[in-house]
Amino acid sequence: MYKYIYVSANTSGLFNKSNHREMIDKYSSEGWRFIAAIPVIFSSYGAIKEFDLVFEKQE
């Protein structure tokens, strides 16, 4: 059986930079496996403002 967590990551600034790489590295070092990035909030122009990073770990 697998356990899942969902971590919110925001985009910011003119070029929509985010700290998603650091977050993936952090959770991977704790034994979590990165599965997907799911966009959850969009701007009025359709740009992604927030997404969930999905991680899994076998129990």
Per DSSP, the residues of 20-55 read HHHHHHHHHHTT-EEEEEEEEEE-TTS-EEEEEEEE
What per-residue confidence (pLDDT) applies to 29? Answer: 98
Which pair of tokens denotes residue 29? 């070092």
Report the predicted TM-score, pTM, of the whole model to 2 decimal places.
Answer: 0.82
Domain limits, the chain: 2-58
What per-residue confidence (pLDDT) applies to 39? Answer: 95
